Amino acid sequence: MPDRIVGEIPKSARESIRVSLREKGGTLGCDLRVAVTTGHGPMRETPKGIRIPLARLADVIEALQEVQRLAGSIDQ
């Protein structure tokens, strides 16, 4: 299966977080990588990032939702 980019979240004017479904070693995983642009050509991924096994994805989503809930309860 070819890599499939499913989203990009802007981080700054030059960087974004690229979310991909990627096969590595015969198994699928969710890959989160920093992608950068130099202003010439398409954005390129850096080695910075993490790979989440699909079996753990629900746990990560749950933890992120908890962070979002907690952050919403903090007076800013």
At the second CATH level, the architecture of 4-72 is: Roll (2.30)
Question: Which of residues 73 and 25 earns the better pLDDT score?
Answer: 25
Residue type, position 53, single letter: P
- Which class for 33: exposed (0-12), middle (13-18), buried (19 or more C-beta within 10 A)? buried
41-67 pLDDT, tens digit each? 888 999 899 999 999 999 999 999 999
Question: Which of residues 66 and 76 earns the better pLDDT score?
Answer: 66
- Which class for 55: exposed (0-12), middle (13-18), buried (19 or more C-beta within 10 A)? exposed
